Chains A and B, each alone.
Chain A
Amino acid sequence: MKEVFKRTGALTDAPFHYCPGCTHGIIHRLVAENLEELNLLGKAIGVTPVGCAGFCQQYFNIDMQGAAHGRAPAVATGIKRALPDRFVFTYQGDGDLASIGIAEVMHAAARGENITTIFVNNAIYGMTGGQMAPTTLPGQKTSTSPFGREPSVAGYPLDMPKIIAQIQGAAYVASVSVDSPKNVLQAKKAIRQAFEYQLAGRGFTFVSVLSTCPTNWGMSPVKALEWLRENMMKNYTLGVLKDAAAQ
């Protein structure tokens, strides 16, 4: 028997603190495997968000820097400009990136900053107790919209990859999901492409990953994946939305 799948060395031995079935773990693995395969462990610097992934510096075998809520792209800009030979990425959730941090990510994209942002969208504020986020779908029940998000009062969700794709400085924008093995493989490819573009100095790269929050959605992990497939994947644009090199 040949070993065909093992835990990547880019992840530490620390067990994830995430709830059972939270897809943050899958996305961590995809980022870590790409870092390892591209031989970046010695020169990668990650910038952590505020939110559930705010402790993710424990899980990657690389240097990480914490940032104030939403400011990861600004901190990453500073790191990349001071140390241009390093590989710099941010890992941010939707509450971090799409609400308080929307200015930082838009301007990092506008400047064509040579960094990568991994955006994890689970349509809810996970860590603080499942409140409505800018990405919550119309009709979706959260702890602050118990009858479902009502667009006439609370407006509409932001489709971040679609917005970033319109900014000239963005070199690569992809929107992927981790609901099935096939889509997990596609997500890994998208992250790989973004990382390679940064290494080639092409500019700002952005990968949005649709994720689940079984605890705050009030579903079993398996049901949450189904909900992701039936609701989020239908409401959010998927695929490679911008590829400056291909155009």
Chain B
Amino acid sequence: MAKGTVEVDKLRCKGCSICVEVCPQKVLNLSKEPNPKGYYYARQADPDNCTGCAMCALMCPDVAIRIWRQASGN
């Protein structure tokens, strides 16, 4: 069961791949299909291993990432 969820705004993402590199669990990758701007956007490829640490969101230069985390104790 995933502890966290990442949602990338694919219209805002420019595919810089900083989030892909910075993720300690390596749960993100770039899409095969471009977004309307022509960028290969980041997406959550391996949602089960996401811990919701938000490192990707902290480093996202386009503020395109939202993070949800399982409330502690659950």
* Chain A interface (Cβ < 8 Å from any Cβ of B): 1-8, 11, 15-16, 18-26, 28-29, 180-181, 184-185, 214, 220-222, 225
Cα distance, A3 to B4, chains bound together (Å):
9
* Assembled-state Cα–Cα distance A1/B51 (Å): 12
A181 touches B55 (CB 8 A): yes
The 8 Å CB contact of B16, one of A1, A2, A21, is A21
In the complex, are the beta carbons of A1 and B62 less than 8 A apart? no
User: Which residues on A sit within 8 Å (CB–CB) of B45?
Assistant: none
Counting chain B residues whose Cβ lies within 8 A of the other chain, the interface size class is 20 to 34
Min CB distance A203 to B, Å, is: 30
Write out the residue numbers on chain B whose beta carbons fall within 8 Å of the beta carbon of A184. 58-59
B41 vs chain A, min Cβ distance (A): 11
Identify B67's interface contact among A5, A19, A20, A28, CB under 8 A.
A5
Max chain A C-beta neighbours (<10 A), residue from B16, B17, B68: B16
A5:B61 contact, CB within 8 angstroms: no
Are B66 and A7 touching (Cβ within 8 A)?
yes
CB atoms of A181 and B58 under 8 A apart: yes
| Chain A CB within 10 Å, residue with most, of B4, B18, B61, B63 | B61
Tell me if A2 and B61 are in contact (CB < 8 A): no
Contact B5 A5 (CB under 8 A): no
Contact of A4 among B15, B52, B59, B60 (CB under 8 A): B52
Can you report 23 A-B residue pairs in the complex whose CB atoms are below 8 A from each other? A1-B68, A2-B70, A2-B71, A3-B66, A3-B68, A4-B4, A4-B67, A5-B57, A5-B58, A6-B66, A6-B67, A7-B63, A11-B63, A16-B63, A19-B14, A21-B18, A23-B61, A24-B61, A25-B61, A181-B55, A221-B18, A221-B61, A222-B16
Verify A222–B66 contact, CB threshold 8 A. Answer: no
Looking at A20, A24, A26, A220, the one whose CB has the most chain B CB atoms below 10 A away is: A20
Contact B15 A2, beta carbon cutoff 8 Å: no
CA separation between A23 and B62, bound complex, in Å? Answer: 9
Q: How far is the CB of B22 from chain A (nearest CB, A)?
A: 7
Contact A22 B67 (CB under 8 A): no
* CB-based contact A4/B17 at 8 Å: no
Output the least CB separation between B3 and chain A (Å): 9
- B residues less than 8 Å from A222 (CB atoms): 16-18, 21
CB distance from A100 to the nearest CB of B (A): 26
Q: What chain B residues lie within 8 Å of A180 (beta carbons)?
A: 22, 59
Of residues 9 through 59 on chain B, the ones whose CB sits less than 8 Å from some CB of chain A are 11-12, 14-18, 21-22, 39, 52, 54-55, 57-59
B54 and A16 contact, CB distance less than 8 A: no
B22 with A181: CB separation less than 8 A = yes
Q: Is the CB of A22 within 8 A of B65?
A: no
Residues of chain A contacted by B63 (CB below 8 angstroms): 7-8, 11, 16, 25, 28-29
